[in-house]
Amino acid sequence: METVVSGIRPTGNLHLGNYFGAMQNFVKMQSEYNSFFFIADYHSLTTHPTPEDLHGNVKKVLVEYLACGIDPEKATLYIQSDLPETAELYLLLNMNAYMGELERVTTFKEKAKKQPQNVNAGLLTYPSLMAADIIIHKANKVPVGKDQEQHLEMTRTFARRFNRMYKVQFFPEPEAFNFGATLVKIPGLDGSGKMGKSEGEGNAIFLADEPNVIKKKVMRAVSDAGPTVPNSIKPEPIENLFSLLRVMSTADTVEYFEAKYNSCEIRYGDLKKQLVEDIVKFTEPLRERIKELSSDDKYLGKVAAMGAEKAHDSGAKNIKDVREIIGFRKF
Ligand code: TRP
């Protein structure tokens, strides 16, 4: 069975974009692959070196992964720092990672620009930590978005380099796992681009948002004065509202508003009200499950412990082999 690894940094709640873009696919994958899903708490320190509530943020993601249907019996759901062997592999990979190649990484350049007062070594070596996460389980596939492709290319470089330097065929070269046609893009509410937490307050609808918050965000979503020519092409903010409608509402509802749009009779207030209703209905079970899980620290503790153990079974064995290969041996 092929191995899949994916991680998420604990820097906020999951939104509808995460749900349709990743979570739904993770849930499918967990039955078909040897799957590792982890919460990248080490990585979060590269941008938040003194996190205010690291544990609370990790808990949020753990709760939301479970609420979305990740089954800790099927997948290995763990917290990155619970597998400290990751840090050992990271150290070893760093010995063969070059300043030049690390400095060329786009996300590094962007983050360095964003936090010029804190261009730390962790930020520079983000790709070697990410590579460690992936190859520690000898993963074949990594389900990530386009923005992570360069990191994945680096992972392949590091895996190949290790194999070559130590004359072994140890690490597979993992490939990006694009979920193909099933990937649903969720636009944000600010009129352009996709839903994302970093695009500013109000652009994303979080799975944990209460109905009144959903209402406020949707009613404030960018729209325009409405079409004046029948059957006109929709400008981006309007197309985005319809995209959301297509995901969240019934085909009849979509058809109804399409017709209203095409005859220039559309009232965006009505469309938004409908959207609010359908989003609230859709997220209801998730919201409930999130609440339930959040108050069950005992269960969360069990899940985390089980994940740590399973991750360790896989990772520690591979690290033992790596140590052998490099030449760290017992006397
Ligand atoms: N860099 C990824 C992101 O920002 C998170 C991540 C860390 C990751 N380690 C990983 C993703 C390993 C996949 C595999 O989205």
Positive or negative torsion for Cα 35, 39, 42, 45: positive
pLDDT at 197: 76
185 is an active site residue = no
Are 88 and 211 in the same domain?
Answer: no
Are 17 and 158 in the same domain?
Answer: yes
Q: How far apart are CA 314 and CA 245, in angstroms?
A: 42
Are 112 and 171 in the same domain?
Answer: yes
pLDDT at 180: 54
User: What is residue 225's three-state secondary structure?
Assistant: coil
- Give yes or no for residue 141 CB within 6 A of ligand 1: no
- Give yes or no for residue 9 CB within 6 A of ligand 1: yes
> What number does the ligand 1 atom closest to the CA of 8 have?
5
Tell me whether residue 105 is in a domain.
Answer: yes
HSE-CB at 292 with a 13 A cutoff on CA atoms is: 9
Are 9 and 101 in the same domain?
Answer: yes
Tell me whether residue 269 is in a domain.
Answer: yes
Are 17 and 153 in the same domain?
Answer: yes
Q: Which residue range forms the structural domain that includes residue 153?
A: 3-176+297-326
Tell me whether residue 53 is in a domain.
Answer: yes
pTM of the model: 0.93
59 is an active site residue = no
Are 246 and 314 in the same domain?
Answer: no
Tell me whether residue 132 is in a domain.
Answer: yes
pLDDT at 54: 96
Are 285 and 311 in the same domain?
Answer: no
Are 48 and 135 in the same domain?
Answer: yes
Are 267 and 316 in the same domain?
Answer: no
Tell me whether residue 190 is in a domain.
Answer: no
pLDDT at 73: 98
Q: Please list the ranges in the chain whose pLDDT falls under 50.
A: 181
| Distance from the alpha carbon of residue 221 to the mean position of ligand 1, in angstroms | 30
Tell me whether residue 262 is in a domain.
Answer: yes
Q: How far apart are CA 103 and CA 123, in angstroms?
A: 10
Q: How far apart are CA 246 and CA 184, in angstroms?
A: 11
Tell me whether residue 83 is in a domain.
Answer: yes
- Give yes or no for residue 134 CB within 6 A of ligand 1: yes
Q: Output the six-digit token pair for 157.
A: 């470089």
Are 304 and 252 in the same domain?
Answer: no
Are 236 and 147 in the same domain?
Answer: no
Q: How far apart are CA 245 and CA 271, in angstroms?
A: 8
pLDDT digits 0-9 by tens, 60-109? 999 999 999 999 999 999 999 999 999 999 999 999 999 999 999 999 99
Are 271 and 139 in the same domain?
Answer: no
pLDDT at 182: 58
Overall number of domains in the chain: 2
234 is an active site residue = no
Tell me whether residue 308 is in a domain.
Answer: yes
Q: What DSSP state is assigned to residue 204?
A: -
| Separation of CA 113 from chain center | 23
